[in-house]
Amino acid sequence: MPDLDGRVAVVTGGAGAIGRATCACLSEQGAKVVVADLRGSDAERVADELEGEAIGVEHDVRDSAAGVALAARAKEVFGRVDILVNNAGVNSPTRAVTDTSDEEWDRVMDINVRGTFVTTRAFLPGMVEQGSGRIIILSSIVGQMGTPFILPYTASKAALIGVTRGLAAEYATRGITVNSVHPGLLEIGMHDFEDWAERESMTLDEAKEYFRNLVPQKQYQTPRDIGEMIAFIASDRAEHITGAAFNVDGGITMH
């Protein structure tokens, strides 16, 4: 029997690269999936591609009322929610702190941190009522290491580590686990190699090779790598893991 047979999962940012891979991994393990994304038509397309039961929902994580509506919609269609994957997020442009505007700081913190907070808050009552749940938060290794020229993103991902630990401690006796997943370097997605290449007077290929050589395994991670880790944490095999940070980064961070 698949690890997640009969479970119901909600994935925010489900139409992005990591989101799509996560939805696929959860679906393959038997979960019914709610694909939530600001791009509603893309969310529906991803849902249609999954092998199990799934729906696509247009959703803005910044809207607290929308979070409540998303939780209600998932329960209406599938009866419950067992897994919440807070995946929706944005990067910040590659620039010095002194060139970073208030608006850019607020935008990144609003989506990445507040979005995770209001979405999770909307789903907690249902999980508490049923006495079980898995909450998984997408952070990043940059939130642990400190990375230059993307301060809003780095700060937001560090904040999500605190959110994870605080939630894990608060709900440890309620049957709810809360863990974070920290992707390393993905050649696709939010890593802006072009900005870095321009800053360092490199070609795009040179920049990609530079970053590849930072990884001990000498290869980029894939969205599928992240999705597989999330599926494991969502399963009963991870029942007694909470408040933990799972780095999927090819050995960049070792602890």
Strand order of the β-sheet with 133-138 is: 54-58, 32-37, 8-12, 83-86, 133-138, 176-183, 245-248
Q: Where are the strands (E) in 67-192, listed by range?
A: 83-86, 133-138, 176-183
Q: Which two tokens stand for residue 87?
A: 């995946």
Task: Judge whether 183 and 168 are in contact, CB under 8 Å.
Answer: no
Q: Residue 92 half-sphere exposure, CB side, CA atoms within 13 Å?
A: 29
Q: Which two tokens stand for residue 10?
A: 């909600």
* Euclidean distance between CA atoms 23 and 11, whole angstroms: 7
Residue with tokens 């995946």: 87
What's the token pair of residue 52? 């199990």
> Do the strands 83-86 and 245-248 form a parallel or antiparallel pair, or are they unpaired?
unpaired
> Which residues are known catalytic residues?
153
